[in-house]
Amino acid sequence: MSERVPGLYGRKPAIRPVGLASIEHYATSLPAAPAVFDHTDDFDGFEMLGNGPDPTLTVNGGNPVGDCGVVGSVNVELVDSVETDEPFTMPSSDTVVSEYLRYDQGQDVGVALTQFLTYWQRAGLPWGQIAAWASVNASDPESFWAACNAFGCLYVGIAVPAPAQEQFANGEPWDLTGTSADRQIEGGHCVVVVSRKLGGGELVTWGKRQAFTDRWWAAYGEEAHVAITPSQVERHGNGYGLDLASLQADLALLT
């Protein structure tokens, strides 16, 4: 197994906050998504950031960590910068891993995405702070892609089946194989969905864009969230009927 692992996992099981509605409740005018879109224009300047073999990493003895949830926050901020032309300084792998280990109290046991989203909104991170966040119905393609199209990307949690590592290493789309390996789940992972293609889409993980099919997402997509940046609020929030005050008020009630 160790010979074919491009990166590590680090997503804890999904926690569904009580009392927080989905994004459609707060942004009532989300347009339907087109069949194909990519607001990054095929941007591919993503980095490993300590979530797998990374020669730039020196903290933690240079050993990779399960910081995928934290790396996902960097990638959301980076995608937002690409889409809005706002400046963004890519943090070093040492900075990202150090922040993850500080948040995780040095345990390296991963993060629950909704808890980390709340931290990202309330405390901020060295590379940015979101204005709010809301969940998306991961099993409803219309809602899923409408939110991704409106806000540029989605911060999502997946279950990773055994074939995914080999498919990634071979440059193949993530798809079902029709074998028993499809039922062998190796861990929970955080990735960022950045584009929609015919029959599927693309996400970012382990420093690269990775294609996936619709049927793969239907099998392994477990949670999805919109991370709303200040620049998104300024450019598009009102156009989508976003009631930011109500969303922030509900987020403030989360423990």
Break the chain into its structural domains and give their ranges: 2-252
H or E stretch covering 19:
none
Q: Provide the b/e sequence for 107-146 (b: ≥16 CB within 10 Å).
A: ebebbbbbbbbbebbeeebebbebbbbbbbebeeeebbbb
**pLDDT tops 50 at residue 3:** no
Multiple choice CATH, 2-252, 3.90.70.10, 3.40.50.1580, 3.40.50.720, 3.30.70.330:
3.90.70.10
Q: What's the whole-number mean pLDDT along residues 110-124?
A: 98
pLDDT class of 236 with cuts at 50, 70, 90: low
**The dihedral formed by the CA atoms of 211, 213, 216 and 220, expressed in degrees to the nearest 10:** 50
**pLDDT tops 90 at residue 12:** yes
Residue 102 has, within 13 A of its CA and on its CB side, a CA count of: 11
**168 burial type by CB count under 10 A (0-12 exposed, 13-18 middle, 19+ buried):** buried
Q: Residue 27: what pLDDT?
A: 93
Give whole-number Cα distances, 43 to 81, 86, 88, 203, 206, in Å. 11, 15, 14, 12, 15
Q: Residue 5: what pLDDT?
A: 57
pLDDT per residue over 167-200, tens digit each?
A: 999 999 999 999 999 999 999 999 999 999 999 9
Q: What is the pTM of this model?
A: 0.95
**pLDDT tops 90 at residue 52:** yes
pLDDT class of 1 with cuts at 50, 70, 90: very low
